[in-house]
Structure formats: structure tokens, C-alpha cells
Amino acid sequence: MTMPEFHNVRAWVFDLDNTLYPPSARLFDQIEIRMTDWVMQALRVERDEADRLRRHYWQLYGTTLAGLMSEHGVDPAPYLTSVHDITLDHLEQDLPLARAISALPGRRIVYTNGSRPYAERVIEARGLSGLFDAVYGVEHAGFRPKPERAAFETIFTADGIDPATAAMFEDDPRNLAAPHDMGMRTVHVAPLPAPAPHIHHHTDDLAGFLSRLLPGPG
């Protein structure tokens, strides 16, 4: 089965965390611990308060970093280096996903609220190196995070993407609202669906979903 609504797509935009690897890898468990530790040290608060602020800023601003920059004027560079200094030992290469991505026509990019160096490490660990035309981190959006529309506009303008011929793959439903409004096809990648008007498709199997987008042999 192919999906005609993707036939005009010539730019494929993938989130990174919990999208190009399964949530069961639990990388964000490591990142959240490091974020909380960083907030404790930077703001000189106890762990419970640091954890509360981490979650509050993520909910309010889109990322903990955006909240720290807005409310405390923190320097983003050391923060991004610190929180992404995690082990990727338990990530596995995904050959079916690599084959499915390599078959997509047009431009293929990764756009994450994390940093590009971290994204490149994850991509390599998943066996996806060399498949993407560009990898963008939050630093390339001027540290504006998804779900802000201005963040998407900055990245898409820099890359020359026309949203009318592009698709966005994301695990966080709120990060699909702006792409939908800009005219993109939107795909929620997660174990469970989160039905919403701005989500066109849901899948819990990214490789399988991508393999159905294009006509097969013959």
C-alpha cells in the first residue's frame, strides 16, 4: 500500500530523540538527570526544585534551555555540552530504517531541539550516517526551540525547504502544530496515537511507515 498524499513530498524532516530511535532506549532518562543536575548547580537550588523547574520550563517554553535563557540569562553552549554527555552504548543499528530513509526521494534532514554534535552521535550509533543532507540543532535556530513557528521558519529558510512539499516526523505532538500550519504533511511517531487536527498520520514503526510511502518493485 502506498500513500498518495506523500507523492509530492521532496523534503523529509525528522526529529531525533524518540523518533529516529525507539523510546525504549530511554536516552532522555539520562539527559533529564543531567539537566536537573545542571539546574541545581547553576541556580543553586535543591534537586526537587531543580526538577520542578526543568519540567516547568519545558512545558512553558518548549525546552528547559529556553526557560533558563529567558529567565536566567544562561549561556546555552556549556549547557548543551553538559546535558548531552551521555552514553549511547545501548543504541542499536537499525538496517530496515536505514534502507527506508535511503529510498526517500529528495532532501532528507534531521532537526532536533538538541545539539548537532549530539544528533550526529545518535545518527552514527543507529547506523544512519551518510543518509541525511543536513543535521540541524537548536543552535541553528538561534536557540529558539520547537514548537515555536519562528524556529521552524529559521531552519526551513536556511535549508531552502518549501513546506508545501515537505513532511515532518516527530514524537512530540505539539511540535507538529506549526509544520501543519505551514502546509507540511505531519506524522506522529510514538507508541500511542495522540489524535489532533494538526496530525495527519501516526505510526509506532517508522521504518515500516516509510517503506509504505513509495511504490514497490513492479
pLDDT tens, per residue, the chain with 218 residues: 457 889 999 999 999 999 999 999 999 899 999 999 999 998 999 999 999 999 999 889 988 998 999 899 999 999 999 999 999 998 999 999 999 999 999 999 999 999 999 999 999 999 999 999 999 999 999 999 999 999 999 999 999 999 999 999 999 999 999 999 999 999 999 999 999 999 999 999 999 999 998 765 43
Joined grid coordinates for residue 58 = 519545558
CA dihedral (27, 128, 133, 32) in degrees, to 10, reads 0
Sheet holding 201-203, edge to edge: 134-136, 107-111, 11-14, 166-170, 185-189, 201-203
**Rg from Cα positions in the chain:** 17
* 3-state DSSP assignment of residue 202: strand
* Residue 211, Cβ density class (10 Å: 0-12 exposed, 13-18 middle, ≥19 buried): middle
Alpha helices in 23-132 (DSSP H): 27-43, 47-61, 64-72, 76-83, 95-102, 116-125
List, in order, residues 6 or more apart from 83 with CB less than 8 Å away.
Answer: 31, 34, 35, 38
**Beta strands 201-203 and 185-189: pairing type?**
parallel
Is 0.85 surpassed by the pTM of this model?
Answer: yes
List domains and CATH numbers for the chain: 4-21+92-211 (3.40.50.1000), 27-83 (1.10.150.450)
* Residues 14 and 20 sit within 8 Å (Cβ to Cβ): yes
What's 145's DSSP letter? P
Count of alpha carbons within 13 Å of 208, Cβ hemisphere only? Answer: 5
